[in-house]
Amino acid sequence: MQLVQRIVFVFFASVLALGGCQLNTGVKVIKMGHAQVVSHPVHQAMVFLGERLEEKSGGKLKVKVYPNQQLGTERELIELLQIGSVGMTKVSAASLEAFSPEISVLGLPYLFRDDAHISQVLQGEIGKELLLSTEKFWLRGLCFYDAGKRSFYSKTKPIETPADLEGLKIRVQESKMAINMIRGMGGSPTPVSYGELYTALQQGIVDAAENNPPSFYNSRHYEVCGYYAIDEHTAIPDVVLVSSEVWNDLNKEEQRWLQEAADESAVYQTKLWKEAVEEALREVQKAGVKISYPSKEPFLEKVAGVYAQVFQEQKQLEALVQRIQQTTK
């Protein structure tokens, strides 16, 4: 659906509540769109965010959540936020690379040591800087959501080493970092929108893809791909965004309520995420998917050139990577 059609849908979906406007009752309603199904931890966390916001504001500020790409794809939602037609969304950090070179660092393969390191970086000073790095494009980051670690799933054979990627068309996000990573590993990167991926796998437009366990399960891609190799090559978080137009329309107290609700929803989402990963792996295995845990060393060796290329093209990222690598408690 074209962006103009999306804008028309957004308008008629709620004539009285645009991106975030005050109704005659004095209540402000912020529309929040995303691409996931209602059973996904992201949707549940957004609903929780709305509940906490309503409680904190005494009902003066509310969030209405639209799942399943009702208001548009990730790219369309970003554009709608920029013009204030939608108030909030959640996107992969990879989708923000065009707006913030700094945030593209999160797409580097094997950037983090472990889960503790991820938390230290994203919840610390570096995380705050990255969240605000898109403000000049009318997109304000409120918090990060856990999007787990991305691994390969495939149709015809398991991906146990980089050599198994050769000759395969691998679906990637529309991200230069992701494209360079797959190319560096030996595969053929093929950008496909998330909503079109099931059909692309079915029809052989792509041979494989990569994502976290809950997304692999909830998208039902396991019905097409019988192999899941947990190599955990990236840990790209999601970013909860608010339109700067909507944010600037809120008073200081309302901004504080929204930020606090977002932060609390991130804690809740992390808990839901861990449960969802366990459930997803259990269910896809039950459905017949063969899960493997290949050695990460061969993949690490292959992506060394990706780092060199990134530092050559974006010198400022080298210092940022060093700060991330040096981050400890």
Q: What DSSP string runs through 250-265?
A: S-HHHHHHHHHHHHHH
- Of the candidates 159, 261, 155, 153, the one whose C-alpha atom is nearest the C-alpha of residue 213 is 153
**Total residues found in the chain within this entry:** 329
End-to-end CA distance of the chain: 46
Sheet holding 208-211, edge to edge: 188-191, 169-172, 208-211, 150-154, 227-234, 290-292
Q: Please check whether residue 73 is in contact with residue 193, taking contact to mean a CB–CB distance below 8 angstroms.
A: yes
Return the pLDDT at 25: 72
Q: For the residues of 169-208, what is the DSSP string, one character each?
A: EEEE-S-HHHHHHHHHHT-EEEE--GGGHHHHHHTTS-SE
- Of the candidates 104, 108, 94, 95, the one whose C-alpha atom is nearest the C-alpha of residue 305 is 108
Return the pLDDT at 22: 57
Return the pLDDT at 12: 41
Q: Which residues pair with 90 in a beta bridge?
A: 240
Q: What is the rounded CA–CA span in Å between residue 99 and residue 268?
A: 28
Q: Please check whether residue 265 is in contact with residue 138, taking contact to mean a CB–CB distance below 8 angstroms.
A: no
């691409």: which residue's tokens?
A: 35
pLDDT digits (tens, 9 = 90+) for 181-238: 999 999 999 999 888 999 999 999 999 999 999 999 989 999 999 999 999 999 999 9
Q: Please check whether residue 194 is in contact with residue 35, taking contact to mean a CB–CB distance below 8 angstroms.
A: yes
Those residues whose C-beta lies under 8 Å from the C-beta of residue 149, and which sit 6 or more positions away, are: 212, 232, 233, 234, 235
Tell me the C-alpha to C-alpha distance, in Å, between residue 134 and each of 23, 287, 292: 29, 41, 38
Return the pLDDT at 39: 87
What parts of the chain have a pLDDT lower than 70? 1-24, 329
Residue 6, judged by CB atoms within 10 A of its CB (0-12, 13-18, 19+), counts as buried
pTM assigned to the model:
0.85
Instruction: Enumerate the H helices of the chain as residue ranges.
Output: 3-13, 41-57, 74-82, 115-122, 125-131, 176-185, 197-202, 213-218, 244-249, 252-286, 297-302, 304-313, 316-326
Return the pLDDT at 176: 87
The domains located in the chain, with CATH, are 3-146+237-278 (3.40.190.170), 150-235+286-326 (3.40.190.170)
- Of the candidates 143, 145, 140, 144, the one whose C-alpha atom is nearest the C-alpha of residue 250 is 140
